[in-house]
């Protein structure tokens, strides 16, 4: 049986690559999906394709719409949604995705450093698992798919 | 990952072919679906198969039912629904499809010339993107699927 | 048992008042809801409340969003949705509402003059009843609620 | 017709009181619901009722669960969900609520100062209206309920 | 707590009156809903209101649509749907209502004479209870609402 | 694109074979599903597998349950449900399937001889098409899938 | 705002009365619903109303069906479902109710003595709160409704 | 057509292997899914991957969450859910799964020795079939898929 995993959230570290390398090394039957992680492309996709806007608010709105075409479809197809919160930025779109996925009844894994635990308590409480490292996410997927525990 | 795109609306220009040629040229992993675009067949399918009607209203009803067997199934299977409004005709079935798709939670792209913007404002507001040309739809699909921005 | 009826569509004739007067004369247990029917208010509500826009497209978008807060809530609460198509204008928002209501599984009555029958065939086919006059809608409501047929 | 409005998000300013005073002054037929806004009670409700935890993570989890009993029920009952982002803190639970409400198909109003517009672009794009002040929310509610535009 | 009961099916005996008299005698907090049980009105409502049809098929279709405005709304509002099969006629609309209610997750009571048991086995298997007399339905409602058993 | 068609109802004529031969001759990309059409097996499957019952009512119940494991799953997977009513028997399970499919939002084709039109008017009104012969169903499928009209 | 609470599970102690007395003393705006808690009536309701069965299995089936008419309706109406596991018996219907409520998205409180914690870990993990005493449930309800903490 | 079967419940006998051997011998087109059946792994997966807990309650919670990532996804993908109750232990998670699957509208087979019939009557009543042996489940699957009865 094949599993589809959506990797939402933080785009400034290589956590997605770590997870994909880990599941690849274990030959897990998984496909990954994610938002566009090129920050500039993600910000400018709306105006680059549909024409410029004088007003930054509508510049952002156009881009958010185009990105939503991708992210909502991929979240709805996912078996498990992983949402990563990093140490910087507001990351409200990550929390939005977590709420969106929770209301759809998707299984959720939240990934964040321990210092965010208090601020994320409502988000963590909606998840089936809270991890601190991408390696733990790999271990979770291996267990969930194969029943295999680490070492 | 494969994407299914439903192309609803205007049937008197070649916009569907433009989109399909564009995604084909870029080798995007997409399948397209659409209503029957042969105007006469679409109008007469009910009576041609199920027998003639004296009353034009029921002639139309029979055809609309048979066409709905196709269009509703294909809209429900689509990841993204594109609805095109041309410069002629009432095109109420296009707007109906847009409302139907929106209520199902489908992602929506509306495609229309700028002069229809005011009349379509409620429809546009329910969409994730509003395009003016089929080439823009190709660009959107390329970005949504590959994260690639134009040139 | 009380019934809630949403009256969507054309805003340039008094069809809503005719229906309301008719059901009131018969003391039917109904409440009516509708979009804002003041055309100028409906067009300008977004910018009047949330600030002006240089670009007409976003002027319209703001208004469409604010109107949707009203119309979607009221459609979702309705037992029956009546959609009226008049003789003028594109009325794409009426067809959008019909599609939206149909996908939600709402009962639908479409009200239009006979000359629109062909252009509205897909919309009509999604409805439980197609009427030509608001008086017929009153008769339908009386029958649906009380089982009473006209005189 | 009565409207139920859920007021999610920031708890350190009096924005909820401003909205309630405004709708009360206009005699709007609305009820408001909200999370528990006493910060300490909200943090400690789990352990105060169900017993202490040595580990702060589980202290938070217990509280988040008890608060969710309230917030999810009230969001599901609401006609419109207003989510306020203030100038401080991470406010991830506000963004989570917005995503949760969006996936349920609730109508959304996002309320935030202009400096958050870029960081909130995905959240704003899921909303029907984006306001900067609670007075604007009052105006929106007056328009949505009564069709009345400001003076 | 109030209960809403929809009484579908056979219209040629007084089983609805027996149930209503029985629950009234016991002062059960129930409301009943039903299709229009005047056979002629039910057959002719479409053409009586919306104009005559030459073709009997469309005469029937118009009526079925108008009746559906009533029956679907009332089934969707019901807590419990009771479907009665009598000794005569095809009664396919009764079986259709049972299937419709079952797919909506409604609680079902099927009421029929023992000689129909084999022919109704699929319908009975979808029900929570199968009764032979309307008095048994009254007993069921009394038990379901009050926990009171006969005698 | 592949289509899945569920063929419900009458089991005493070869209508299913006619449809399958017709679509096969046209190489339509369809799969068919159906209830178990061996009447004896269908009646006795419950007791044959799970043990005998003294009481015929429970004999039937056991069989109806086992058959439902098949029929509900296959109806839920179908794109289009065709329900055939023959000239004999009560066929309440056919009408039940039609109601069940309608409430799930499945596309419906009803197939019956003209003499049943009045008794089936509510069922027909819930369908997108009403056919008299299995050959017409083949024509409908060809049109729906390929846009091809007869002759 | 009024809250509806369903009290599922153990029927041999007075925990329901303790909760109701507690919320009554605090004048909380709550209604309670529950299964029939008279063990004999609950076991025999099917045969008492619908006629005796020789086979105990079908005796039980008839009763379970009649009880389901009550319990499913009341669970679906509830804002919060409380499920109590006592120290005796298998109580599989309590765990079934918890799973049923969880899949419906209902808020859940599980109430059990600490010695059952390991055996109930999957059930507890699906709940928003796990309590040990009915007094704690009263405290939770007071907090959830009024934001009031004990003491 | 391929069928997916989820095998929930008792993990101390070889009933899953019996079913899989039986369907394999008959070459049935089925895939099976199940919870992790290694009792120790299932109990400890949370802490083994995500770090130890001093408190056994949270040790269990972590594990239950990780297991739920697997079990809920697989139940949601299943066409038929089989739930086995053995002769030992509380098995509340089995009953929880049955309730969860029932509320999702999944087809259910309950498998248990006859002595549990009374305690499981509510669970059995929600199922389409109640079997006593895994061989009967194989027979049911053969019949459901192929229409073939034993012997």
| Chosen from H51, H54, H57, H58 to mutate, greatest number of chain D CBs within 10 A | H58
Report CB contact under 8 Å: F41, H143: yes
pLDDT of residue F151: 72
Q: State the DSSP string of E124-140.
A: HHTSSEEESSHHHHHHH
**Facing residue for F65 by CB, picked from E61, E64, E125:** E125
- Classify the phi-psi angles of E130: left when phi > 0, otherwise alpha if psi is within -120 to 50, otherwise beta: beta
Helical spans, DSSP H, in B14-133? 15-25, 39-50, 56-77, 92-103, 121-125
DSSP type of residue H92: H
Cα torsion F11, F12, F17, F22 to 10°: value is: -100
Q: What is the C-alpha to C-alpha distance for residues E87 and E12, in angstroms, rounded to an integer?
A: 10
Nearest CA in chain B to E52: B55
Q: What is the C-alpha to C-alpha distance for residues E6 and E75, in angstroms, rounded to an integer?
A: 6
Name which of A53, D6, C96 is nearest B122 in CA terms. Answer: C96
pLDDT of residue F103: 97
pLDDT digits (tens, 9 = 90+) for B1-41: 899 999 999 999 999 999 999 999 999 999 999 999 999 99
Q: Does position G151 have pLDDT exceeding 80, yes or no?
A: no
Contacts of H83 (CB under 8 A, 6+ apart): H8, H9, H94, H95, H97, H98, H101, H108, H109, H110, H111, H123
> In A, which residues are within 8 Å of H36 by CB distance?
143, 147
Report CB contact under 8 Å: E50, C80: no
Q: At CB < 8 Å, which residues of chain E contact G?
A: 1, 3, 79-80, 107, 109, 127-132, 136, 139-140, 143-145, 147, 149-150
Q: Which two tokens stand for residue G90?
A: 């298998």
Name which of H82, H92, H95 is nearest H22 in CA terms. Answer: H82
Asked if residue B66 lies in contact with residue B46, where contact means CB atoms within 8 angstroms, the answer is yes
- Our answer on whether F and G touch (3+ beta-carbon pairs < 8 Å) is yes
pLDDT digits (tens, 9 = 90+) for B88-113: 888 999 999 999 999 999 999 999 99
Could you list the pLDDT tens digit for every one of the 151 residues in chain A?
899 999 999 999 999 999 999 999 999 999 999 999 999 999 999 999 999 999 999 999 999 999 999 999 999 999 999 999 999 888 999 999 999 999 999 999 999 999 999 999 999 999 999 999 999 999 999 999 999 898 7
Could you list the pLDDT tens digit for every one of the 151 residues in chain F?
899 999 999 999 999 999 999 999 999 999 999 999 999 999 999 999 999 999 999 999 999 999 999 999 999 999 999 999 999 889 999 999 999 999 999 999 999 999 999 999 999 999 999 999 999 999 999 999 999 898 7
DSSP element (H, E) containing H25 = helix H15-25
Three-state SS at E39:
helix
Q: What is the C-alpha to C-alpha distance for residues D66 and D61, in angstroms, rounded to an integer?
A: 9
Q: Does position H151 have pLDDT exceeding 80, yes or no?
A: no
> In A, which residues are within 8 Å of D99 by CB distance?
95-103
Q: What is the C-alpha to C-alpha distance for residues A101 and A35, in angstroms, rounded to an integer?
A: 14
Local confidence band at H59 (pLDDT 50, 70, 90 cut-offs): very high
| Chosen from E3, E107, E136 to mutate, greatest number of chain G CBs within 10 A | E107
Local confidence band at E5 (pLDDT 50, 70, 90 cut-offs): very high
Report CB contact under 8 Å: G53, F53: no
**Facing residue for H140 by CB, picked from F33, F69, F77:** F69
Report CB contact under 8 Å: F73, H109: no
Q: At CB < 8 Å, which residues of chain C contact B?
A: 56-57, 60-61, 63-65, 67-68, 85, 89-104, 116-126
Report CB contact under 8 Å: A100, D103: yes
| List of chains touching A (3+ CB pairs within 8 A) | B, C, D, H
Three-state SS at F81:
strand
Local confidence band at C1 (pLDDT 50, 70, 90 cut-offs): confident
Report CB contact under 8 Å: H129, F66: yes
Asked if residue G102 lies in contact with residue G126, where contact means CB atoms within 8 angstroms, the answer is yes
**pLDDT cut 90: percent of chain D above it:** 95
Local confidence band at B127 (pLDDT 50, 70, 90 cut-offs): very high
Report CB contact under 8 Å: E129, G74: no
- Our answer on whether A and D touch (3+ beta-carbon pairs < 8 Å) is yes
> In A, which residues are within 8 Å of H103 by CB distance?
none
Report CB contact under 8 Å: D50, G131: yes
- What are the distances in angstroms from CA F115 to CA A147, F98, F111? 60, 19, 12
Buried b (16+ CB within 10 A) or exposed e, G125-148: bbbbbbbeebebbbbbbbbbbebb
| Chosen from A1, A4, A151 to mutate, greatest number of chain H CBs within 10 A | A1
pLDDT digits (tens, 9 = 90+) for C2-24: 999 999 999 999 999 999 999 99
What is the value of ipTM here, to two decimals? 0.97
Report CB contact under 8 Å: G93, H123: yes
- What are the distances in angstroms from CA D142 to CA C4, E69, F114, F138? 21, 32, 56, 56
CA distance A65 to chain H (A): 29
pLDDT of residue C118: 97
| List of chains touching C (3+ CB pairs within 8 A) | A, B, D, E
Report CB contact under 8 Å: F95, E99: yes
Local confidence band at C89 (pLDDT 50, 70, 90 cut-offs): confident
**Facing residue for B128 by CB, picked from A37, A65, A77:** A65
CA distance D60 to chain G (A): 12
> In G, which residues are within 8 Å of D32 by CB distance?
none
pLDDT of residue F150: 84
Name which of E61, F145, F115 is nearest B61 in CA terms. Answer: E61
pLDDT of residue C150: 84
| Chosen from G73, G76, G77, G105 to mutate, greatest number of chain E CBs within 10 A | G73
DSSP type of residue D114: G
Asked if residue C107 lies in contact with residue B104, where contact means CB atoms within 8 angstroms, the answer is no
pLDDT of residue D150: 83
CA distance A40 to chain H (A): 34
pLDDT of residue C132: 98
CA distance C10 to chain A (A): 30
Q: What is the C-alpha to C-alpha distance for residues F85 and F92, in angstroms, rounded to an integer?
A: 10
CA distance E137 to chain G (A): 9
DSSP element (H, E) containing G50 = helix G39-50
| List of chains touching B (3+ CB pairs within 8 A) | A, C, E, F
> In H, which residues are within 8 Å of D53 by CB distance?
55
Q: What is the C-alpha to C-alpha distance for residues D105 and D101, in angstroms, rounded to an integer?
A: 6
pLDDT of residue B58: 98
Local confidence band at D89 (pLDDT 50, 70, 90 cut-offs): confident
| List of chains touching G (3+ CB pairs within 8 A) | D, E, F, H
**Facing residue for G147 by CB, picked from D41, D50, D65:** D41
- Classify the phi-psi angles of C36: left when phi > 0, otherwise alpha if psi is within -120 to 50, otherwise beta: beta
Q: What is the C-alpha to C-alpha distance for residues C12 and A82, in angstroms, rounded to an integer?
A: 51
pLDDT digits (tens, 9 = 90+) for B50-90: 999 999 999 999 999 999 999 999 999 999 999 999 998 88
| Chosen from D46, D50, D55 to mutate, greatest number of chain H CBs within 10 A | D55
**Facing residue for C64 by CB, picked from B85, B116, B121:** B121
Q: Does position C122 have pLDDT exceeding 90, yes or no?
A: yes
Kindly state the average pLDDT of the residues C109-129.
98
Q: Which two tokens stand for residue H86?
A: 């053995």
- Our answer on whether F and E touch (3+ beta-carbon pairs < 8 Å) is yes
Residue D39: how many CB atoms within 10 A of its CB?
10
**pTM above threshold 0.90:** yes
Q: What is the C-alpha to C-alpha distance for residues F149 and F142, in angstroms, rounded to an integer?
A: 8
pLDDT digits (tens, 9 = 90+) for E52-103: 999 999 999 999 999 999 999 999 999 999 999 999 889 999 999 999 999 9
pLDDT of residue D151: 72
> In F, which residues are within 8 Å of E90 by CB distance?
90-91, 116, 119-120
Which residues in G43-99 belong to E strands, given as ranges? 80-84
Kindly state the average pLDDT of the residues H63-84.
98
**Facing residue for D140 by CB, picked from C31, C66, C72:** C66
DSSP type of residue B8: E
| Chosen from D117, D133, D147, D150 to mutate, greatest number of chain C CBs within 10 A | D147
> In B, which residues are within 8 Å of C98 by CB distance?
96, 99
- Our answer on whether A and E touch (3+ beta-carbon pairs < 8 Å) is no
pLDDT digits (tens, 9 = 90+) for D134-150: 999 999 999 999 998 98
Q: Is E66 exposed, middle or buried (0-12, 13-18, 19+ CB in 10 A)?
A: buried
DSSP type of residue D11: -
CA distance F63 to chain E (A): 8
User: CA angle at residue A70 from A66 to A71, to 5 degrees?
Assistant: 110
Q: Sign of the C-alpha dihedral, residues B132, B133, B134, B139?
A: negative
């Amino acid at each position: 049986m094949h599993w589809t995993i959506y990797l939402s959230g933080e785009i400034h570290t290589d956590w997605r690559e770590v997870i994909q390398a880990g599941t690849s090394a274990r030959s897990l039957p998984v496909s990954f999906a994610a938002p566009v992680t090129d920050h500039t492309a993600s910000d400018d996709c709306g105006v680059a394709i549909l024409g410029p806007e004088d007003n930054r608010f509508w510049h952002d709105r156009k881009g958010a719409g185009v990105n939503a075409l991708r992210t909502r479809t991929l979240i709805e197809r996912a078996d498990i949604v992983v949402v990563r919160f990093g140490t910087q930025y507001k990351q409200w779109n990550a929390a939005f995705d977590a709420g969106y996925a929770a209301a759809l009844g998707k299984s959720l894994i939240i990934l964040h450093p321990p210092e965010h635990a208090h601020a994320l308590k409502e988000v963590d409480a909606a998840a089936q698992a809270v991890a601190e490292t991408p390696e733990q996410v790999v271990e979770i997927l291996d267990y969930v798919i194969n029943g295999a525990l680490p070492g």
